[in-house]
């Protein structure tokens, strides 16, 4: 069984020899020359296993094991110490810090490879879903920072877009995905009758523009800003390349896309049989986003009506009745949800 392995070793010749051995065996190897760099790579890439020397400058192997063990996203990564120190006390100390095994230098190639394969078989399956979610969260955190970059480390630029600006249109060739750093966008699609259907709103920390074919795909919806918005544009080819190297991210994307599709299908089915009040309540709960005023709706009345297949006049009348019942209020043109539980009761 092969996997992504982080090798932390301060001696360059030793590190390169071990990395070559692992790569020849089919593993993908990340290299760090000290403990601090190793921790950074572990958090950024969430490898399947860590091989770590003990005696290193700046931060030794015990320190690495302790730090990784305290971080939720890295605490489940198995760590094997590689070291010339091999007495019982060192072995016990390593296990106490979170290591799962201990290989003494010098070692035979087959000994190292067999130990790694055994650990990957034991640890790999239950970690895959958790690793994918943690890797995705780390990616989002990096994009929200002051120095966003691709998964390969290439710097990215933040674009400022006005309200009403379009990111892309349905039918356009898909070359980029868009990360929302601040503000909100809406996604729309043309229905079978040629009418715009609002699919969803997306806010900070969300991605828009995924297509199944990446570079050769076609966008299946429109995307436009409903507030002044900051976005980061990432080439889909870069994302595709990163997903090949880190399949846990691709699996996490597939999981999220599947959940989003199920949510939309469930909402569409419910709308087909709901009353005006039920459908309006369902739309309000679906599109509400937190703000300093509470849960608010960023969509226009027309967009809200399109999301449930109602005429604008009908949804305006329903919103007026909700306001009279104390379920909602308005601040300017913005709808505020005063009683989400009451709206849930409307759905039944």
**332 occurs within a structural domain:** yes
Dump pLDDT digits (tens) for 235-255.
888 887 777 777 677 767 767
If asked whether residues 243 and 310 sit together in one domain, one would say no
136 band by pLDDT with thresholds 50, 70 and 90: confident
CA distances from 147 to 135, 144, 159, 249 (A): 18, 8, 13, 21
Q: 174's torsion region: left (phi>0), alpha (psi -120 to 50) or beta? A: beta
Looking at 117-217, which runs of residues are DSSP E strands?
A: 158-161, 166-168, 176-182, 185-190, 196-202, 207-208
Residue that is last in its domain, among 230, 253, 271? 271
If asked whether residues 266 and 278 sit together in one domain, one would say no
If asked whether residues 64 and 168 sit together in one domain, one would say no
Q: Kindly report the CATH number assigned to the domain that includes residue 169.
A: 2.60.120.10
Structural domains of the chain, count: 3
Query: Among 27-41, 44-58, 120-134, which stretch is predicted with the lowest mean pLDDT?
Result: 120-134
Dump pLDDT digits (tens) for 259-269.
776 666 666 66
Burial class (CB in 10 A: 0-12, 13-18, 19+), 70: exposed
Q: How much is the pTM?
A: 0.57
Q: Kindly report the CATH number assigned to the domain that includes residue 35.
A: 3.40.50.2300
Dump pLDDT digits (tens) for 210-230.
875 554 578 888 999 989 999
């Amino acid at each position: 069984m092969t996997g992504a392995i982080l090798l932390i070793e301060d001696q360059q010749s030793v590190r390169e020899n071990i990395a070559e051995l692992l790569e020849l065996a089919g593993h993908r190897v990340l290299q760090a020359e000290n403990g601090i760099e190793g921790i950074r790579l572990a958090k950024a890439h969430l490898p399947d296993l860590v091989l770590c020397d003990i005696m290193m400058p700046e931060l030794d192997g015990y320190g690495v094991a302790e730090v990784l063990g305290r971080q939720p996203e890295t605490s489940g990564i198995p760590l094997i110490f590689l070291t010339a120190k091999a007495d019982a006390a060192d072995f016990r100390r390593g296990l106490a810090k979170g290591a799962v095994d201990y290989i003494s230098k010098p070692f035979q190639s087959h000994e190292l490879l067999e130990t790694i394969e055994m650990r990957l078989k034991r640890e790999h399956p239950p970690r895959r879903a958790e690793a994918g979610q943690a890797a995705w969260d780390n990616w989002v955190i990096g994009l929200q920072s002051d120095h966003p970059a691709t998964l390969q480390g290439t710097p990215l630029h933040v674009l400022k877009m006005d309200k009403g600006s379009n990111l892309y249109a349905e039918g356009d060739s898909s070359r980029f995905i868009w990360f929302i750093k601040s503000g909100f966008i809406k996604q729309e699609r043309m229905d079978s009758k040629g009418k715009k259907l609002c699919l969803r709103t997306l806010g900070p920390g969300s991605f828009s523009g995924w297509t199944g074919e990446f570079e050769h795909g076609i966008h299946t919806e429109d995307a436009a800003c409903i507030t002044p918005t900051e976005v980061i544009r990432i080439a889909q080819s870069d994302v595709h390349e990163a997903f090949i190297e880190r399949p846990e991210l691709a699996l996490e994307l597939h999981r999220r896309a599947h959940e989003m599709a199920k949510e939309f299908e469930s909402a569409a089915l419910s709308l087909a049989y709901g009353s005006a009040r039920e459908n309006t309540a369902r739309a309000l709960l679906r599109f509400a986003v937190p703000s300093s005023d509470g849960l608010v709706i960023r969509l226009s009345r027309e967009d809200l009506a399109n999301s449930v297949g109602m005429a604008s006049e009908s949804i305006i009348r329903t919103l007026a009745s909700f306001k009279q019942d104390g379920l909602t209020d308005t601040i300017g043109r913005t709808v505020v949800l005063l009683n989400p539980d009451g709206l849930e009761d409307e759905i039944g």
